[in-house]
Amino acid sequence: MNYRIVLFYLGRVLGVGAISMTIPLILSFAYGDGSWPHLLTAIIIAGVPALVLSAKRFRKGNLFAREGYVITALGWLILSMIGALPFVMSGTIPNYIDAVFEVVSGFTTTGSTILTEVEHLGPSLLFWRSFTHWLGGMGVLVLILAVLPMTGDSYHLNIMKAESPGPQVSKLVPRLRDTARTLYIIYFVMTLLCVLTYYLSGMQLFDAFCMSFATAGTGGFAVLNSGLNDYSVLSQAMATIWMVLFGVSFNIYFMIVRKDVKGILKSEELRMYLGIIIATSLLISLDVFFHCYRTESYGMSVHRSFFTVGSIMTTTGFAIADFSIWPEFSKMIVLGLMFIGACAGSTGGGIKVSRLIILLKQAKKEIHLLFHPKAVKQVQLDGKTVEHSVVRSVNNYMIIYLLVFTASLLLVSLDKFDFNTNFSAVAATMNNIGPGFGAVGPYGSFSEYSWLSKIVLTFDMLAGRLEILPILMLFHKNTWSRHF
């Protein structure tokens, strides 16, 4: 383990956290909400170590896969622990475990909350809470690679692989820094367009920014206790569109910029992603119309269904309806969407559509080999052969995913809640969705869980966002060996 490079990057992460908190600090002065001393203290706590750790540059070629995983896991954990300080010091979230849960939920773009009255937060803390979604959506370390001069391009790919969601990560352009910069430019422009459409649809400017951060990061933190219910139908429709768009792989948007129409049309993941959204939305709209909303028009059922499906599949977590009281058929569809998730390379969570496609094709291949044992058949995606290492990594990911999910469910079940609540709580946090069913439904919270369950669910949020392995590597003894 090269501790020097790990500390150097952790210093950079702390620097990003300190700089990011200056925005809510300025808002605190502007609104006079009294949170500025707490934000300033957190900035100093993050900023001083950042200056010390980042003062000395490392030598080129010292960053390998192990360091990349450790930097990513520790960076997200430390950033969340410091980001929670303003909430604790201000007294808005007195319990530190609760505050860390809330901020980890923000950075991992989960949207699960322990708050029952979000409007009691001042404007500056509301902004910081939503802004964590935006920072975590594309990735803090990807941001560092995009804006800061770095050396050793091929080695820094290990950081991007550790932080970016999906079964495989590649460069969009020859230089990694240009790839990271391209991703963030697209992300930034789309966020601004989202702010503009929200504002034009009737939202206040402050709300438009906060809700855009949550939408772009597919996070789900709202600034009102009622979520999106108090906004116009037009605002809700805009949210549906933007949630679906941010659930698309950013490689597709790069193809749009490059006018690569053939590449877009070839994308099997995009076709399946949109197909699942359309099909499940129509099925749910019919089910809930006949069982829940017969007094309203079918159009409103379609509106609610597309919003909910878009919110759950992209793992955003916004709500305009309590889907936990929907008919069982619709609830089972929603539960399935929680696990599928968005596209690889998007800001969404879940298992990812590309993994689902690879698993289905792998299953089809194995069935084919039962009838034709000597056949040579390879898994293909978008007309290209998927390397065996990628197929193996997908299979390994699913095995580890199920083991972590089962262990988490067992520990969370020590609390008093029913199976429906516990199962959906683990699914909602590990897939970075936010709300579940029962007590943790769209209008509930995680506040009643014990400190042990909150720690487990916090672990699940980090594991889900970072694709499990970076977090698990922190617990392996060989990770910390200097000469392994």
List, for residues 245-267, the tens digit of each pLDDT value: 999 998 899 889 888 888 888 88
SS3 call for 341: coil
226, 162 contact by CB (below 8 A): no
36, 106 contact by CB (below 8 A): no
Phi, psi of 191, deg, nearest 5: -65, -45
**Phi, psi for residue 247 in degrees, rounded to 5:** -85, -5
Q: What is the DSSP letter of 441?
A: S
Q: pLDDT grade, residue 201 (50/70/90)?
A: very high
**What are the helix (H) ranges across 32-139?**
36-53, 65-83, 85-90, 96-107, 123-138
Question: Looking at the predicted structure, is the pLDDT value of residue 443 above 70?
Answer: yes
Instruction: Read off φ and ψ for residue 19, nearest 5 degrees.
Output: -65, -40
Q: Is the pLDDT of residue 105 over 70?
A: yes
What is the distance between the alpha carbons of residues 361 and 366, in angstroms, rounded to a whole number? 9
- Residues 327 and 231: their CA atoms lie apart, in Å, by 26
Read off the pLDDT band of 171 (50, 70, 90).
very low
- The model's pLDDT over 66-99, given as tens digits with 9 standing for 90+, comes to 787 888 889 899 999 999 999 999 999 999 999 9
Q: Do 133 and 217 contact (CB within 8 A), yes or no?
A: yes
Q: Which long-range contacts (CB under 8 A, 24 or more apart) does 48-51 make?
A: 49/11, 49/14, 50/11, 50/12, 50/14, 50/15, 50/17, 50/18, 51/11, 51/15
At residue 220, the pLDDT reads 87
**pLDDT of 162:** 55
DSSP 188-212: HHHHHHHHHHHHHTT--HHHHHHHH
Helix or strand run (H / E) with residue 381: strand 380-381
Q: Which amino acid is at 364?
A: K
- How confident is the model over 228-238, as pLDDT tens digits? 988 999 999 99
Residue 61's region, left for phi above 0, alpha for psi from -120 to 50, else beta, is left
Token pair in block for residue 469: 């392995």
Partners of residue 384 on adjacent β-strands? 381
384 vs 159, residue with greater confidence: 384
CA angle 136, 142, 147 (to 5 degrees): 115
Q: Give the other-Cβ count within 10 Å of 482's Cβ.
A: 7
Residue 173 banded pLDDT, cuts 50, 70, 90 = very low
Q: How long is the chain?
A: 484
Q: What is the pTM of this model?
A: 0.91
Q: Give me the percent of the chain exceeding a pLDDT of 70.
A: 90
State the pLDDT at residue 39: 95
